[in-house]
A and B are shown apart, each in its own frame.
Chain A
Amino acid sequence: MRPDPKKLLEWIKPSPPTKEERECMKLLQPGDYEIYTEKLNNFLLESKEIFIKLGVSSMLRSGDVVTGIYTPTGDMVAAWCGTYLHAVVGQLPIKFVAETWLDEPTVGCKDGDIFYASDPLYGGIHNCDQIVIMPVFNDGELIAWTNAAVHQPETGACEPGGMPLTAKTRHDEGMLLSPIKIGENFRLREDLVEMCVNLMSRAPRMQAIDMRARLSAADRLRQRIVSLAQEKGNDFVKGLFRRIVIEAEEGTRRRIKEWNDGTYRAVTFMDIVGEKHKLVRNFLTLHKKGDQIIWDFTGTSPETDSPQHCMPHALAANIAIHLMSYSFNDLPVSAGVLAPMEFIVPEGCMFNPHFEAAQSNSAPSCHGGMTLGTICMSKLMFDSPQRELVAAATGNTGVGVLVSGVNQWGVLIADFLAYGLNSEGHGARSDMDGVDAFGFSHCPTGRTPDIEDIEIEYQFLNLLAKLNKDSCGFGKNRGGAGTEIVHIVNYVPYALYNSHVKGSKIRNCMGLFGGYPPSTLPGIEVFHTNIWEKMKRGDKDLPSSAMQLISERTIKGDYKIDSIFQKTHVMENGDLWVVFSGGGGGYGDALERDPEMVMDDLRREIISHWTAENIYHVAYNSETLEADVEKTEQLRQQEREDRKARGTTWAEFEKEWSQLRPPEDILDYYGSWPDGKKTREIIRL
C-alpha cells in the first residue's frame, strides 16, 4: 500500500487537467483570474497568521511554516511560503489519501474529516514535519484540500529534539505517521491526540498545542474556500484552481525555453555522517534542453548507517525552494512550476536510500543539493533576461541547535533555538550583496525569534546576538553575513544541548564566478563560568562578540574549541555556548569590489581590517575609513600580477593535483574515490 519512491517523485508534478476542469476554466471572465488568485493569497496569509499566533514551538513562531490549497486530486494550487518544500511535499499525503482512503470503507472521507501525517515514506520530508490535511466539501462535492505543516521539534526518538544523530534505522526515530484520519466533524479525536502527546513525552505541551495550531490554520483556509465556492460556485473554483496550475506550467516552460541549452555541473561536500566527521559528496549534472530541465544527482555518495538521507521527492522539494524563490518567483507557487522538471536520483545514494534507512536529518542532508541547484541555475540564467536572479549559494549550514529539559516554568521542552536557524547569510547576487541574516535556508521569510521571547520561553540568557564578522563569502558582491549568539543556561540546574550544524571542516556553500565560499564555523563552549558573579558585580568587561569572548577570556571557565557539530550533552547552569549561522557565498572577484563598499563593511563590522587589506587589497586610513582609490588600484594590479606569477598551466596543475588525496579515515562513507560510487552494502537491524 505504501507508495514507492518513484511514485512519490512523480506526484510532485501536476496531474493532467481533466475534461471537466477545462470546461470549468471557461467560466472565468476577464479579470477573474487576477482577482481570485489574489483572494486565495489573502486567504493563505490569514491562515498563516492564525497558525503562527496559535503555536508554541520556535520554528512555528518564526514563520517556518506552510499553509496550502490543493486540487481534489492533490495538485498544489497556491501556498503561503514559508517553507516551499512543505508546500511541494504537501501534495503527496493528499494524493495518497485521495488514492487510498477515499473509497476505503473503513476510512472514507467526508466533510469535517481531519487527516494527519509525518512519515517521509508517505511523502513527508522527515518525521519532525507534521502535516494536517483537510478535505474541502461544498454541497457534498470534494472541491479542494487544505493543509498546514511545520516542523515539530520532538518526535519521541532515541535522542531529544527529533533529529537523532545516532539513529541507524527508522526504528530509532520515534513517531512516524502514515496518513491517518485523526479527527471527524471538524474536531480532533482526543484519543489519537493523546497517543501523539504521549509519544512526545519530552515535550508534550508543544505537541498538544501545535497540533491544534495546524488544524486551526487549515480549517480557516477551508472555511474561506467554502465561502468562495458558495459565492461563485464549485465549477468556478475548480476552473480557477486548474488555470493557476496551467499558468504556472506554461510560464515556467516559456522561460526555460529562452535559456541556453547545455549541461551544467556542480559538486559540493558535507562534513558530517551520523555523529562523526566524515566526508561525503553531492553531485549535480543539470541538463537543459528546450523547455525541460533534467536534474541528475548521479555521483552523489552512497547511503550510510546514519540519519543523513532523504527521499528523492524531498530532494526535489528542496530544489523547489530555489525555483520558487528565484527563477520563477513571479509565477504562482503551484505544482505547475515542477511540471517541466525531471529528477534522476540513483537508488542507493544518500538521496534515495533503502526504506529502512533513518532519514530524520533529511532536511539538513539536502543543503548540499540546494547549493548545487542554486549554482547550476545561476550559471544557466546568467545569459538570459533573468540575470538579476543569478546568485551564489545561501549559507546552507542548517543551524539545527536543539535544547531540551525542564524550563524555568517547570515545563518539559525539546525545541530548536531558532535564532541561528533563521539568520543565515544570503548568497551574493549579480547586482547586489547578499542579505545579512536573511532567514532560513528552507524558508526565505523565516524570521529570528525575538531575543526576549527566547528568554521568556526557555532556560537561557542570551549574552549577545549580532552579525558574525568575516562570516560572509568575499567577492565583488559579498555574501550576506551570518550571525552569532551566546546562550547561557539560566534558572535551571542543567539543560541538554546538541547541534547538527555543518561546516567546521568544509562548507557546502559555494561562491559564484570567483566569489569565495564563506568561512567555516568552529564550536565554542565554556563550562563552569563565573558569569553570574561578574554580572552581580556589574563588571564592565563582558564580551560583546564571540571573537572577544575567546580572545580576551574575561569570563573565567573551561574553554572548549571544537566542532560546531555536537552530540547531545549536559550544559550546567552558567555554562555557555556560541551558535554561529553560516554566511552566504560571494559573487565575483574580490578585487572588483568598490573600495567604498569595503569601507562600509568595516564601519558595519561585517569584515575585519585584515580582510579589507588582504582580501580586498584596499588602501585606506584606518582611523577615518577613507579609501585611497588610486593606491588601491595599484595594490590590486600588483595582486593580479602576483596571481599570474603563481598560476600554472592546466598540465602543470593536473600533474600536482592528481597526486593529492584526502586522508583515508575521512573517506569511510564517501564511496569510491573520487566518483562516490557505492562500495559496500549497509546491513540494517
Chain B
Amino acid sequence: MPDNLYPSPIEEARRQAQICNACRYCEGYCAVFPAMHMQRAFSDGDITQLANLCHNCQNCHDACQYTAPHEFALNLPAVLAEVRQDSWEETAVPRALGQAFHRSGTLIAGATVLIMALLFWLARHLPGEGTGFYAILGHGAMLAIFLPATLLPCLAIALGLRRYWRRVEGGPIRLAHLRAAFGSAARMRNLAGGHGEGCTFETGAGFTHHRRYMHQLVLIGFLLCFAATVTGTILHYIFAIPAPYPVFSLPKLFGVTGGILLCLGCLGMLRAKLAGRAELQARAVRGGEFGFIALLFTVSASGLALYAFGGTAALEGLLALHLGAVLSFFLLTPYSKMAHGFYRLAALVRDAQRSA
C-alpha cells in the first residue's frame, strides 16, 4: 500500500474525492457519495463532514477500479478514517487529551481503570452509610464523584460538537433532521451497504452484517445500561427506594440484559476489528480503538460479575473495579472512540440538512 501522495490527510482526501467525484460508481453504497457528488470543490469542512459520514464499511474500496497498484492509489476508507480521527482530536476540549487517548488508548484506559479502582478500594475505608454497595461506598460519596464525572465530559462533548458544527457549516437544526439522523443511526443504515447485504469490512470479499449487528448490540446494550442507571435514580429519588434492587426490577432487568449485550457486542467488535484490514483504517489509532473496546468490555463484564458474585467475598474488589472502569469510561468519553457516536450523529444531522 503506497503512502498518501500528500502529507496532510485532508489534502489527500481532497485528491481522492476529486477522483471519486469524476467516477461516481459507488453512489449507492452509503451517504458519503451522494453528499460528495453535490459538489465540485471540497473545502476542509466538506472533507471533514464526508469523513464523519463514512462508517468504514469498505465496500467502496473493494469495488474501486483505482485502488493500488493503480497509480491513482485510492484508499478512501483509510484516508477518511484519518481525517475523521484528526477532526475528533482537533475539536476535542481540551485538544491535548483527545490526541493522547487516540494514540495510546489501551495504555491510558488500563492505567485509568487501575488508578480509579485503587482509589475506590482505598475509599472503602470511609464510613459506609447503607446496605449493599452503599455499605462500602456511601451514596453521597458516589454522587460526589460521579455527578461531576458525568457532567464535565458532557460539557466537553458539547463544546467539541459546537466546534465541529462550525467547521462543517451546519445550519439551524429542525426536528426532521434529528429524525433522519437518529433513524439512520438506529438502523445503522450506512453499514447496510446500500443493497442491504452489509459490508466487506471483515472478509474483503463477501458482504456480511456481522459488524453492523455487533455495533448495534453494543449500542443497545449501552442504552439499556444507561436506562438501568436512570430508572435506579428515579427509584432512589422519587420513590425513595434505594439499591440494592431485586432481580425483577427495572434497574436490574435493564442492567443485566444491557450488560450481556454489551459484553457480546464488544467481543464481536473486537473480532471484527482483528479480522479487518489495518491498511483500510486509521492505523495510528488502532491501538486506541482496541483500548476503547477493552474498556467498554471491562465496564460491562465487571458489572455482570458484580451481579453474579455480589454476595461473596469478591464484592469489594469487584465493586472497586467496576466503579473504576465506569468512572474511567465517563472521564475518557470525549477523548476516546466513544466520541465517535456524537460526531457521527452530528454528521448525520448535517447530511439530513443537505439532502432536505
Do A and B associate with each other?
no
Residues on A close to B: CB < 8 A?
none
Residues on B close to A: CB < 8 A?
none
